[in-house]
Every structure is written in structure tokens, then in C-alpha cells.
Homo-oligomer: A and B are copies of this chain.
Amino acid sequence: MSVYLHDIPLVQAQARFREALQEAGLWRVLGVEEIPLDENALGRVTAQPTWAKVSSPHYHASAMDGFAVRAEDTSGAQPASPIQLSVISGQSSVQAQYVDTGDPLPEWANAVIPIENTEPLDENGKITSAVRGPSSIRVRAAVAPWSHVRPLGEDIVATQLVLPAGHILKPADLGAIAAAGHQTVRVARKPKVAILPTGTELVPIGSKLKAGDILEYNSLVIAAQVRQMGGEPTRFPITKDDFDLICQRVQEAAQTHDLVLLNAGSSAGAEDFSAKVVEKLGALLVHGVAVRPGHPVILGTIDRGPQTIVHRPSSIVPIIGVPGYPVSAALTVDIFVEPLLAKWLGRRPLELPVETAILTRKLVSPAGDDDFVRVVVGKVGDKLLAAPLSRGAGVITSLVQADGLALIPSGVQGMEAGEKIQVRLYRNRNEIEKTILAIGSHDLTLDLIAQFLAEHDRRLASANVGSQGGLVALRRGEAHLAGSHLLDTQIGEYNISYIRQYMPNIPVKVVALVGRDQGLIVRRGNPKGIKTLGDLTRSEVQFVNRQRGAGTRVLLDYHLNLMTIPPDSIAGYHQEEYTHLGVAAAVASGRADCGLGVATAAQALDLDFIPLFQERYDLVIPKQFAQDELLSPLFDLLADSRFREAVSHLKGYDVSVMGNVILED
């Protein structure tokens, strides 16, 4: 049971892959096709420079509705001493001729006077209506040569470069190519990419799930990535972990595709066949790359088999073994597939804009790895902050929520909170400046706030670090607000004493968001008939607790004390879970009969809930931000009846306190 062959540095892995493809003649545009110049050309990459076949305009054109004249005939014209120019006289002495916008300028003319600057006259020299052509016009200002004329080639001169090769076509480009006399455009052929999900544990989207089943959605994400990059993806059906079956599918894919992506099975476990498949069908170039997330990446080439795509430049097909964890998979595609497709399309590789931000918490990173960290980015005061999201390679929502990607390069073992870090941004600065950063205790109503704020041009990005962590973040100036439900057991009051302790000398506004039920999470139907904290001392009742320091643990201890129930009389008091959902999961699995938590955790796992206490969940907002225009939609929201109604539909929530100002310094 060896691990990977070995993890080689990222740049080395990329170089080895590139060299193999260069050698095979595959490090260049794959092929060229001529397509009609219509809106389907949008986003395609030009395969050749576009040179103009015609000029635009292809003649000297009037730029206005008006009269074509010789500029020299108007010289001396002034408001008080107008000049009269004849319109209908014989060709030899004509001095003015009516032209519509776009009409060719008569050969003898070199300027146009807009119609509104002329006085049309009849044959008697009287001002006339313009319905029939006047016999002459009066002008009261001289015009310069070429006024209101679009000279031949003003836009495009025949033979000039209109667009270079390697250009991604935008709407205006299509117009320019048409204006330059073309009906078609030669673009790079879209690379065909086969995506092969493998794994006996995989089940298709929509399956009824049992423990151990894993939903196969990586192929969906990868297909969308490939399409976004300009490739043409094919999703293959799931293949079981069977060496021969996988070999067969890979060969089938290689015959009709330019690139094969073999998802999962790229590690070194007993059922991980990808490396062996590549070795059997071709050459294994790299197995294991020092990049995180993503380690078990495979890079290789396989023999194509019979030719089926016309004009394919080589008899080999590159293959990439993509790791199974969804974040690893997506990043592997960004790191290895994007540059390859860019090369095959002849365009620049995608480059995200980079900004420097301040890291909100310490990050540990293996010194040997290029470590990519998904971050939420927000501007708090004048600081641009990067708050790391979950680093779990299985947490696809960290990619959904990410505003950017921070790289801790190999050689760096980690970074401290407050250090500057380079972030590749997924969103532009405008969006980031409309982001409200909430750090603290999580509550489901924050999701509803996020949904409502999105309708008012604000984005709520929240990070869950617990109530106390939120107050510390506010003190450090790293968030606009914190959700908090800290009970002071001495005085039975929420939050205020903690705010004074953790955020001394910072003026704040505290607004109640909701009253929220805490209660006992029990199995469906409450088979043990548990009703109060008193029932926890019954011998047949197995309890599961939260960890010391958790708000819910503080609440339990407070009430046990009020009711004079000794903790040690409760079976399982010392068995600790770290989240509401951990408690619910312990109950769902039968490991415990009950635990204290919020109603929504019970609901999430389809358990029953016995409400016991109501606690207040407040929003703590430094005064500086409470008055900021950024947050004003949030305050509007607290008074919005639609929002109140939406929250009151959630189980275990009371909106009667919503918007009450608890404290305002």
C-alpha cells in the first residue's frame, strides 16, 4: 500500500506535461474551422488575423441629413451676411445638393451642411417648406472642408488588421469583421473533452441515498468548466471500479476526444485504478502533485486507437486523472485543463485580477505544497479583508461562496492573521464593495437575510466562528457585524457584558434579530417521552452534550443550576459534540436519545424537537458601520413585513423582538 509515486512540485508537473505534448505536436492550436459570421461566433477564438477586404465607408459618405457643398463656396458666410447656394441649376454650376445620412458625397463636393443649419429658398428667393426640393439654400456660417463627411476608410481601410489571431470574439468584433467585408470567420476548433466518472460508490444525481453512496456531480461541474473554457465536454456514464471496464471506456473516449479526464481513482488505494490504466494504455508522466487541495493528480498520455476525428495532429491523447473530492477536482481542472485548452484554442490563459488583502486568521500550510485557499473578500472601512473559508476538499460550497483564491506558495509554511495575502478575485471590486461581512455565530435567518439583501444590491458573506469569535473580529475591524447569543449567567442578560469585555471603547449598535427556541432534539415520535430537563436524569435516557464554551452549553448549565439538577446525574453529560448538527446526528444514529440544540438542526435530520427556552439572537454592529450606506438595506429589512413573515415561517423563531434596539452608544 504505497502512497503516490511521489508528489512533484506544481511547476515541474506542468512542465513535464507540456514537454510531452510539445513532443507529440499537441502544444498548439488543434484545428481551424470556418464558421458563418452570426451570433454563434460570440466567444469563439480567432485562428487567423482578420485583414480588411474592403474599406468602411467604401466611399466619402454624408454623416448627416443635409446639403453637400464645396467648403470654399461658403467662405465668408456670417449670421448677418449669409451666402446663397444654388441647388437645382445645371450640373456645371450646382453649389448644393441634398444628401441623406450615408449618401455618397457628389464628386464636386467636400463638405456637408446639416439641414437644420440651412434656410431652403424657392425660385423667388423666399423661404420654403422642405417637402419639395428648394431651388437654393441660404447659409449663415462657413464650413470647413470635410465637415460632416465620413471620409472613405474612416472606420476601416482595406488591407488593415481588424483583429489579431487568438482573440475571443465580442459583439462589436463581429460587426467589425462584417464591415471589413467578410461573411465568415476562421476560428479554432473546440477541443473535445471526455469526462469519465468512475467509482463503485457513485450514484447519479437524483438517486435515493443510503449511507456510503456518493452523488456523482463532479462530471457536471467539470463539464461546465470545460464549456466555460471554450471546450466541448462529453459526460460519460459512471463506470464501476473495474480495471478492465475503465480501460475499455478510456480507449473508447480517446478515439473520439482530444482529452480524457478520468475522475477519481487517482489516489493509491486498493480500488484506485487510474494510474494503472494510464500505464497500460500509454505513458504515466506524473502521479502526485504538491498542490493542495488536489494531491493525487495523474498526468499522462495514451495511444489514440483508430483515427476518428479528422485532422488530429497526433496519435496520442493526453489524459488527466482528476482527484475525487469536488474542490480538488475543480481546482485540478483550473490548473491543468485551462492552460491546455487555452493553448489548443490559441487564446491567452485565463488570468484572474489579483488584489492584496489582509488575512483574517492564521493559516497553516505544508511547506512543500502550493496551497490554494478559498476566501471571502470584503471591504471593512478602508481595509480589504480575506477571510478563509472551509479548507475541506469535499466542501463544494466553499467554491460557491468564494470571492477569490489565495495562494500560499510552496516554501511558505503558513501565514499569520493580519498578514497581507495576494488574492485572485472571482468578482470585481464593485461587487466586493457591496459585500456585508458578517462573522460570528451562525443562524439560519442569516441565509434569509442574504436572500433578501441580494434583491437590494448587497451581498451578505458570513463566516461562522461562534459568538465570541465574532466580537473579537469586530474589535479587530474585520467584519461589519456579528451575530451573537451570549447569555451572561450572572445577570441573565444577553450579549452586553460580553460586548463591553471583548470590544472595549468601541461604540456599537445592538439590534435584536430574533427570539430562537432552544430545546431537546429527540428521535421521531419521541419514543422515550422526554419533556423537560428533569427527564435527563432518568436512567434509560442517554444525553449528548455540546462542548464547553458553546453558547448552548452555557444555556444548559444555567438552567440545570436554576433547577438544581446535578450535571453528573445525567448519563452522557460528558459526551461532547461540536455543533448543533453533531448533536442531532448523534440522536439520529441512535447513539443518544436527546441533546440540547436549535429546532432547525432537528428539522434538518427529520427529528422531533421539544422547545424549552427562548434565547435572543442579536446583531452587533460597530457604530461606524451602523451609519454606513452599505448597511442601510439591512436596517430596512428588519422593518420589512415580507422578511418578518419569511422568518416567522421558520420553525422555532419568534420575530416579535426583531429590530428592537438593545443598545446604542
Interface residues of A (CB under 8 A from B): 1, 3, 37-39, 41-42, 49, 54-60, 63, 65, 100-104, 107, 115-116, 130, 146, 150-167, 170-176, 178-179, 183, 201, 205-206, 209, 211-212, 214-215, 217-218, 220-225, 227-228, 233, 235, 267, 269-271, 324, 326, 330, 348, 351-354, 390, 392, 394-397, 399-400, 428-431, 444, 447-448, 450-451, 454-455, 457, 578-579, 581-582, 585, 589-591, 600-601, 603-605
A165 lies within 8 A of B451 (CB): yes
A-B contact pairs, 7 of them (CB 8 A): A54-B209, A107-B590, A115-B269, A151-B585, A159-B444, A161-B448, A178-B205
Which residue of chain B lies nearest to A651 when distances are taken between CB atoms in the complex? Answer: B159
B585 lies within 8 A of A60 (CB): yes
A155 lies within 8 A of B395 (CB): yes
A326 lies within 8 A of B63 (CB): no
Chain B residues, CB < 8 A from A103: 201, 212
Most chain B CB inside 10 Å of its own CB: which residue of A161, A162, A175, A221:
A175
Distance from A198 Cβ to chain B, minimum over Cβ atoms (Å)? 13
CA of A399 to CA of B169, assembled, Å: 12
Which residue of chain B lies nearest to A62 when distances are taken between CB atoms in the complex? Answer: B212
Chain B residues, CB < 8 A from A430: 351-354
Which residue of chain B lies nearest to A49 when distances are taken between CB atoms in the complex? Answer: B451
Partner of A428, one of B57, B233, B353: B353
B176 lies within 8 A of A397 (CB): yes
A392 lies within 8 A of B150 (CB): yes
B220 lies within 8 A of A1 (CB): no
Which residue of chain B lies nearest to A606 when distances are taken between CB atoms in the complex? Answer: B158
CA of A130 to CA of B270, assembled, Å: 9
Chain B residues, CB < 8 A from A174: 217, 220-221, 224
Chain B residues, CB < 8 A from A222: 171
B160 lies within 8 A of A353 (CB): no
Distance from A26 Cβ to chain B, minimum over Cβ atoms (Å)? 18
A179 lies within 8 A of B1 (CB): no
B224 lies within 8 A of A171 (CB): yes
Distance from A308 Cβ to chain B, minimum over Cβ atoms (Å)? 23
A59 lies within 8 A of B212 (CB): yes
CA of A396 to CA of B56, assembled, Å: 10
Chain B residues, CB < 8 A from A218: 175
B42 lies within 8 A of A228 (CB): yes
Distance from A77 Cβ to chain B, minimum over Cβ atoms (Å)? 20
A394 lies within 8 A of B57 (CB): yes
Distance from A291 Cβ to chain B, minimum over Cβ atoms (Å)? 18
B166 lies within 8 A of A455 (CB): yes
A217-B178, A431-B351 known; A171 vs B225 contact (CB < 8 Å) = yes
A178 lies within 8 A of B220 (CB): yes
Distance from A336 Cβ to chain B, minimum over Cβ atoms (Å)? 15
A165 lies within 8 A of B454 (CB): yes
A392-B150, A397-B155, A448-B161 known; A171 vs B39 contact (CB < 8 Å) = no
Partner of A164, one of B65, B451, B603: B451
Query: Beyond the given A39-B224, A157-B604, A175-B396, could you list 20 further A-B residue pairs with CB under 8 A, ordered by the A residue number?
Result: A1-B116, A39-B227, A39-B233, A49-B451, A100-B269, A101-B269, A102-B201, A152-B605, A153-B579, A159-B444, A161-B448, A164-B454, A165-B454, A167-B454, A172-B396, A175-B220, A178-B217, A179-B396, A348-B457, A354-B429
Distance from A575 Cβ to chain B, minimum over Cβ atoms (Å)? 10
B604 lies within 8 A of A394 (CB): no
B227 lies within 8 A of A205 (CB): no
CA of A101 to CA of B328, assembled, Å: 14
Distance from A47 Cβ to chain B, minimum over Cβ atoms (Å)? 12
